[in-house]
Amino acid sequence: MAESLPPVVERIHEEVLRRNPAEPEFHQAVREVLESLAVVLNRHSEYTEMKTVERICEPERQVIFRVPWQDDSGEVQINRGFRVEFNSALGPYKGGLRFHPSVNLGIVKFLGFEQVFKNALTGMPIGGGKGGSDFDPKGRSDAEVMRFCQSFMTELYRHLGEYTDVPAGDIGVGAREIGYLFGQYKRITNRYESGVITGKGLGWGGALVRTEATGYGAAFFAEAMMETAGESFDGKRVTVSGSGNVAVYAIEKVHQLGGTVVACSDSSGYVVDEKGIDLEVLKQVKEVERARVGEYAERVASASFVADGDIWDVPCDVAIPSATQNELDGEGAASLARAGCRYVVEGANMPATPDAVRVFREAGVAFAPGKAANAGGVATSALEMQQNASRDRWSFEHTEARLEEIMRGIHERCHATADEYGSPGDLVLGANVAGFLQVAEAVHAHGLV
């Protein structure tokens, strides 16, 4: 049972529920931020008078559209497309596109709302948005994916622009999809507007480190958390859920920083490898063959595959949930805490349920929310936009150094804000309050718009 909210934010929460029925993920994301904001509203009455929180909870624009296309057999398919342009107080809307059967308006709004604060924390001049479709690229041919992407962009292009709205990839949208989307945008507009989309191929405007950025960023954030406690990754057992882009590169960077990742997963189950996940084999299985994670266990003698059960039952010092929203519940959190886990760092967007976060708080487990810990992807997207604007290309080393600097800056900011608002070490409150204050200041400066 969720605790009641302070009166100063309860009215706002009730209004969000009323105006946005049947959108549980969005309700969850808003409530999680509101729980942190009472302390701010009590200190800054102007935010209540100007209804600043209410304005930030309401998207500036929501676009929903039909996406018709033909599959390889000639059958007509109809999907639904979304783009929620949530807040542009700090810059053009910036956020990924997700292609997955689970996509609906509530999920896109939750992701867009989180993106507003995440982007603010990076310190980069970008607002927040999100989009996608209930199209599933899994099992589709390249030609089918291309036809879908072209149809999707034929509607979406009119809402985009390097000074307006800049999408990127997310679940189901990788380099292939970004290429088809950009090609259609270029064809329709007759403009080679590199900065209109990020996650591009390296040969045509993409940035080095963009592929690795979210996973690397989560590892850098975890390292910064441990350093405040006088620790490091050296000798630490680490569990990373998922085996997609975020998980693979979180594993890579954790290994480089001295930790040992002993487990990863996908929707079919999880693998445990006490010697440490062999990244070369994992990349071959997941990135080249697009196979199930069980294939890894068949090729690596020290590994075992578990089809039933929960990856959070694997004992570890550090957990990095990197698959999808609400994958880590109260029961999983209790398992981690019992086994001695001391750090949980969200690599995905909102992978820990409110119950899980409560368990971590009560057990004294240091917890980093996704809006802070997984901001590396969008931060590097903003660096890609900088390079496109200056017609430049930076080295891998320079871009990675900028990424690490940004992630350490986010941690420092969240840590300092938590101290300032009377909750030392509470990175959830620190992230929510720091992100909110940055956006709120700009919202007020622009007037009632």
Calpha distance 402→338 (Å, rounded): 37
How many residues does the structure list for the chain?
449
- Of 103, 112, 230, the closest CA to residue 171 belongs to 103
Calpha distance 126→163 (Å, rounded): 10
Calpha distance 442→430 (Å, rounded): 19
Half-sphere exposure of 85 (CA within 13 A, CB side): 18
Backbone angles phi, psi at 344, to 5 degrees: -125, 125
Query: Structure tokens of 56?
Result: 């930030």
Q: Are 347 and 250 contacting, i.e. CB atoms less than 8 angstroms apart?
A: yes
Report, as residue numbers or ranges, the catalytic residues: 130
**Residue 169, annotated as binding a ligand:** yes
The H-or-E segment that residue 296 falls in is helix 294-299
Q: Are 177 and 167 contacting, i.e. CB atoms less than 8 angstroms apart?
A: no
Calpha distance 165→207 (Å, rounded): 19
Query: Structure tokens of 317?
Result: 């010092």
Calpha distance 281→214 (Å, rounded): 21
Q: Are 294 and 269 contacting, i.e. CB atoms less than 8 angstroms apart?
A: yes
- Of 159, 139, 160, 137, the closest CA to residue 149 belongs to 137
Helix 376-389 with 213-228: angle, nearest 10 deg: 120
Helix 354-363 with 24-43: angle, nearest 10 deg: 50
Q: Helix, strand or coil for residue 312? A: helix
Calpha distance 140→146 (Å, rounded): 10
| E strands in 147-268 | 165-169, 237-240, 260-266
- Of 54, 63, 64, the closest CA to residue 85 belongs to 63
**Residue 432, annotated as binding a ligand:** no
Backbone angles phi, psi at 42, to 5 degrees: -70, -25
Calpha distance 371→17 (Å, rounded): 22
**Residue 51, annotated as binding a ligand:** no
Calpha distance 319→302 (Å, rounded): 21
**Residue 94, annotated as binding a ligand:** yes
**Residue 62, annotated as binding a ligand:** no
Specify binding-site residues for substrate.
Answer: 94, 115, 118, 169, 381
Specify binding-site residues for NAD(+).
Answer: 214, 245
